[in-house]
Structure 1
């Protein structure tokens, strides 16, 4: 082992820079100051006023609600602190959803001490992103966005924000992973950049920038047991952010994701062996909706998707990220493996189709389920309630009056009422109109079967 090591060292070339005399101050001293001067003015502090409803001691108890009504306790105001990034000279700012969630007032403070009131243009809990507009703002400093797919592990980055409310700070580090998926971090789920640049409470919504002062991500969370930075922080990649900004500026009030119409799972070693693959990679398709653009492009269950637009895909979260970053209407190339053969298909990303018709219906009359509103499950309804892409049946979309006390929840898929199978909104209305004192409703909630019983 010593001989091998000595041989390797003897062949290792000496660095040329070690033989040169520094000719400038920049070669003598490494400093991030030029990058900070460029990027810091576009990073802002966000102060959000949030109304918090204290729960009473019997809140949510159906017995006490029957006698005393819905007891919510008292309301109080709390101040939330976070960071944001200016991406539009007219006052467009991006931050995390959890920074402004349930806020009644949002105040944004720039590094030059100017203050603006802000309104939310677009917010999405699943992505943990929010786009704000500053009232009366113009000619503000802006951070340009970099294509986050060009990042590599080891690239230098700076995290800029307002941790602990002490004022704007800067920490340096590297990109330690470019595609962390399978995580549920804060409010967001999906694919994240991982960095060892220190990110602390209050940094949420702040900028992760490269050495050219370009925005590569929005700092969103840390992985820590004690609440402080331990060298593992996560940021939302700028490519998804770009899609958010485009939709907000187009007037969308809700983030529109392309629809895959499929379910799948990552390929592990055992699955790769069963599929005859040389190594584990990609995501195997389990189910495909007949209207799925992937199905119409020729893919089928059992195929393994390995890339979207030449970007590797290893999980459903990564596939959703790349589709969301591309946006509805974009054409993408899908690399996949079928029976050992590498294939490529092109398809156009679409919104969840509203077919067959949802046919929403509400139970009326003096019956136990009065105020129950249901709809037929179709791709658009399934996307609204985070159901499986291939889900079928009837879903609860709203509850009022007697139905609000039944134990049902929006998003429940009703399977049967008092033993009668239901498969359409009209069948729910018919079953709900029958006379009975004892009610048993079979539903699927969060993928799990559940039986709800009550008397009327």
Structure 2
């Protein structure tokens, strides 16, 4: 009897193993990767608890998702590059042309097919293709780009009106507000993730002379999400997903978006003028903290300290003074320099802004007319320059020149602090008075010729560099 019972048990075990083995073999070709179950208390469920809070609070994301998912598109960028096939082609150029395909996201912003995306999504494209959420595919036309803000505008032509996402006011978003990121990560079309606004006016390049002002969120964003929509719970566009910061290259809890007010201003300028009309307040400013406030001799630890005012600028003509601390602009709080640059990024030349400053313990509200910032990037030198005015030139003791605003290449970034504000008076021994003079000299020189730059530094000393 016992022997029979043993035989039955063995038979049952064998049957279970056989069925389990068949199940594994039948799913051998599945593309889904299942994650092994974690041991209890072996992880901290931060996102899980936050999403449960949203559900318990009665927040409904379905309406916002439904409004936006059909207006967020998949953008494919085909570029042609030549790959060397032998040592001679490697050193002297040439090779076999090869098509390379990159992908990102875009947001339809008008029923006639205008789409906003990131510049890095469509950069160097020889062909652009857009796939809608209903799987229709269109060829896209590049309308214009702005590498500085990483925003680009493309267009498709459809036979009927297309769904689009309306712009929201990114100045009014609040830290802790719920948002959705909609895009196409890893070629997974129409993906929606949720998170909150975790910071505003975030500057990722605080020390390189090119201040930024991103919206930071904890909505999951990965490769392919670039150019996609960041929307509020009403389905309004408040940002264009652009970047993540990560040691691995994948999402680790933080993502960054260009504010919608800035993106909207950029694409409207592209449509109207063909380029972006940037503005300047006309000050040299810096952030405040307890340490530098004590060194300066003021009690303020928030705001933008005015370290200097550019002669002839809107700030100069309106009465802003060195030593002022900018606390608000048009009623919006200015806690740091990126708050100021972010807000000004949505403004146009001749706009008037109300600047609230703290001056010697008193509060003043000063209207300032914004002037147009005219710059030109000298790519061969790794420098950006701007037109200046007679007052600045007289102050620096020169009759002509253009001012260096920042370095734009990694090689030159080490000199950014010393070169910013220097006045270039000659290039290749030819006088320059405007950025048009610089363009003309650079466009008409021989490519392999060295470039001699003569400039006056911040100490008033004359210098010459030769770039080869």
TM above 0.5, yes or no, is yes
Aligned to 2:454: 414
Instruction: Provide the secondary structure at the position in 2 that maps to 1:243.
Output: helix
Larger Rg: 2
Further displaced range: 116-125 or 206-215: 116-125
After the TM superposition, which of the residue ranges 265-274 and 123-132 deviates more from structure 2?
265-274
For structure 1, the 5+ residue unaligned runs are 1-25, 358-374, 423-440, 444-450
Deviations 1:121-168 (A, max 9, x none): 221111011111213464111111111111111111111100011222
Moved more, 51-60 or 27-36: 51-60
Compared with structure 1, are the counterparts of its residues 39 and 402 closer, same or farther at alpha carbon in structure 2 (3 Å cutoff)? Answer: closer
1:313 paired to 2:334: yes
Which runs of no fewer than 5 residues in structure 2 stay unpaired?
Answer: 1-54, 375-386, 391-398, 409-415, 428-437
Q: What is the CA-CA distance between 1:282 and the residue it aligns to?
A: 1.6
Equivalent of 2:184, from 150, 158, 162?
162
Find the partner of 1:44 among 73, 82, 87: 73
Matched, 1:140 2:162: yes
Deviation, structure 1 residue 193: 0.7
**CA distance in 1: counterparts of 2:226 and 2:112, whole angstroms:** 22
Question: Which one is further off, 392-401 or 168-177?
Answer: 392-401
CA distance in 2: counterparts of 1:266 and 1:52, whole angstroms: 44
Find 2:110's aligned residue among 88, 93, 98. 88
Superposed CA offset, 1:249-286 (max 9, x none) = 32x22111112333222122222123443341122223
How far 1:322 sits from its partner (Å)?
A: 1.2
- 294-303 or 94-103, which moves further after superposition? 294-303
Counterpart secondary structure, 2:364? strand
Alpha carbons 1:84, 1:206 under 8 Å: kept: yes
Per-residue Cα deviation, 1:404-427 (whole angstroms, up to 9, x for no partner): 33443xxx84239xxxx98xxxxx
* SS across alignment from 1:183: coil
2:181 & 2:346 partners in 1: Cα distance?
A: 22
- CA RMSD for the aligned pairs? 3.5
Normalised by the length of structure 2, the TM-score is: 0.69
For 1:100-126, what per-residue CA distance to the aligned partner results, in whole angstroms no more than 9, with x for missing partners?
111111111111122222222221111
Of 293, 302, 305, which aligns to 1:281?
302
Q: Does 1:197 align with 2:240?
A: no
TM-score, normalised via structure 1 length: 0.71
User: What displacement does 1:74 show?
Assistant: 5.5
Q: Any idea what SS the aligned residue of 1:258 has?
A: strand
1:438 maps to which residue?
Answer: none
Q: 1:90: Cα distance to partner?
A: 0.9
Matches within 5 A, 1:321-400: 321-352=342-373, 377-378=401-402, 388=420, 391-394=423-426, 397=439, 398-399=441-442
* CA deviation after TM superposition for structure 1 residue 392, in Å: 4.8
Report if the CA contact (8 A) 1:49-1:78 is conserved: yes
